[in-house]
Amino acid sequence: MKICTTLCMLLPMVLVMMMSCSFITIMAVTESHIPITLDGPFKPVTRRFDPSLRRGSDDLPMTHPRLRKNVTLNFPEQIALAISSPSSMWVSWVTGDAQIGLNVTPVDPASVGSEVWYGKESGKYTSVGKGDSVVYSQLYPFEGLWNYTSGIIHHVKLEGLEPGTRYYYKCGDSSIPAMSQERFFETFPEPSANNYPARIAVIGDLGLTRNSSSTIDHLIHNDPSMILMVGDLTYANQYLTTGGKGASCYSCSFPDAPIRETYQPRWDGWGRFMEPLTSEVPMMVIEGNHEIEPQAGKISFKSYLTRFAVPAEESGSKSNFYYSFDAGGIHFIMLGAYVDYNSTGAQFAWLKQDLQKIDRSVTPWLVAAWHPPWYNSYASHYQEFECMRLEMEEILYQYRVDIVFNGHVHAYERMNRVYNYKLDPCAPIYITVGDGGNIEKVDVDHADDPGKCPSPGDNIPEFGGVCKSNFSTGPAKGNFCWNKQPEWSAFRESSFGHGILEAVNSTYALWTWHRNEDNYKENAVGDQIYIVRQPELCKKDFKPQDSQQSLPYNSNPKSSHAPSHLSKNSIITSQFLGLLFIYGLYYEVKWS
């Protein structure tokens, strides 16, 4: 009776407490009818390509205002930011003119200085950072092919910054003088379970088409605080070295090319195209297959490795192909699919060490990204990187990665939680966003469509082995493809767009996919879901069979676009009763 009396007396106070941020978050999920992953697994949904739309568009010409050079002499251009740590930021830019032709001579990178003036007030720069500069060349040992050497690429790391603070800066060489206009950036808050970036944009396979322009314009409208670029940036390798018109199918248009050529000035155009965004918002990149760009001497990835500063050294990596970083309470792991990913290799050893260092009480969310998807129901790139999945999936599952972002497939697809092709409530949510708008056009064929199942000889990866096989369990047992949308594929659509991740707290994160054609529609979204972590149930080292037996995961999938409110209301009720019980016990002990 005493406990009952206590609970009744405490009811008004507990009701007030339920208006905390966590409760408001839960109520928002309920009231806005946004599904949550606890409602899953969801019944697979497909939105077919709209035949009234074009599957793609041509590249913007180098004379386009967003691609042409708009500075003179050695003034900075292609300015870009990248996170180094919560207290440091990379600033990169290019000065001078690139050269292209049969004979090119690299300039001396030391001929122009690398300085960044910065401070907390506009026009008042209290600190100066200095860094390094470099040039690179793309050379081809074939008669008639043009060579390229870049302008001077500068990288400066600003250190000792205060987390959660706005800084104003200029970059360039003050001795010439040739300094940029003033820009600004904001550092992320200290890693903490209570601190998160406002909006993280996720883009893949962007390119430089008119569709790419729509993607970036839409993205700018959504005001991101960081950009996650999951590979295939410029599509400079859809051209011959002499330029001309880019091709949506390289091998179709240039069957006699002696090597996969590139037109490197497209990289400079892409840097200018992105500068209005990347000069104020940090962009974190990972390589895709279109960044391979082979040249003389078996050299590859030269553009990618030279142009972008990434926190490889800061995260203990010895390679810019894979690294990690924190953004508030989120730990990001960027993996390389086009370098050794075997469990006996350097990348895997680094990955294991990085995962072991993570403190989930400080960075509760764990997000991984790499270019080619492991789970993909489109015919394009179907089962292409099975070897990588077989090597790395287990360790990511073991350490409870929450979300995985990929590109490569030029469409959008969100999976149910899946591990080893089986639905699993403790597995990551895999999301493919390779729909940035590139020249190769949107993918529309699904592997489960009649007559569209690829053969095991199709979709050979540009790196690594071939590990394709028929399914050994489930509805597709004995077959290479499903005869319907797989149960692990929750939603797919062939449209260009981008995604926004908003971590609300240590438990809830809102994922929204925005299709380009909805840019001017008020509050229109292509796909939206609250991703919910269950750390108290999905403990590290649980085996897949343990999680499947002990955790609630609906056996009857529901459509993610027509969710039930039962599980949401159950969450609210259980948390409400839990608070009542805890506070009742507390005061019972205190007053006894």
The set of catalytic residues is 381
> Per-residue b/e over 217-236, b at no fewer than 16 CB within 10 Å?
ebbeeeebbbbbbbbbbbbb
> What does each C-alpha distance from 15 to 10, 31, 507, 584 come to in angstroms?
9, 18, 21, 13
Query: What distance lies between CA 81 and its chain's CA centroid?
Result: 16
Q: How many CB atoms lie within 10 A of CB 457?
A: 8
DSSP assignments along 518-546, one per residue: GTTSTT--SEEEEEE--TTTS-TT--HHH
> Per-residue b/e over 463-485, b at no fewer than 16 CB within 10 Å?
bbeeebeeeeeeebeeebbbeeb
C-alpha count within 13 angstroms, C-beta hemisphere, residue 369: 29
What does the DSSP 8-state code read for residue 290?
G
Show the beta-strand stretches assigned E in 75-223. 77-85, 88-95, 99-101, 115-119, 127-130, 132-134, 137-138, 147-149, 152-158, 166-173, 178-179, 183-186, 200-203
Tokens of 65: 């205002």
Tokens of 241: 């070295």
For residue 137, list its beta bridge partners.
149
> What does each C-alpha distance from 463 to 29, 138, 318, 336, 384 come to in angstroms?
42, 21, 20, 11, 10
Rg of the chain in Å (alpha carbons): 25
The number of residues in the chain equals 592
What does the DSSP 8-state code read for residue 171?
E
Tokens of 18: 């339920």
What backbone phi and psi angles, to 5 degrees, belong to 498? -150, 170
Tokens of 356: 């072991």
Q: Side chain identity at 385, as an amino acid letter?
A: F
Query: What distance lies between CA 20 and its chain's CA centroid?
Result: 31
Say whether the peptide bond before residue 51 is cis (omega within 30 degrees of 0).
no
Helix (H) or strand (E) holding 273: helix 265-278
Is 184 in contact with 169 (CB distance < 8 Å)? yes
User: What is the Cα–Cα distance from 239 to 58, expressed in whole angstroms?
Assistant: 12
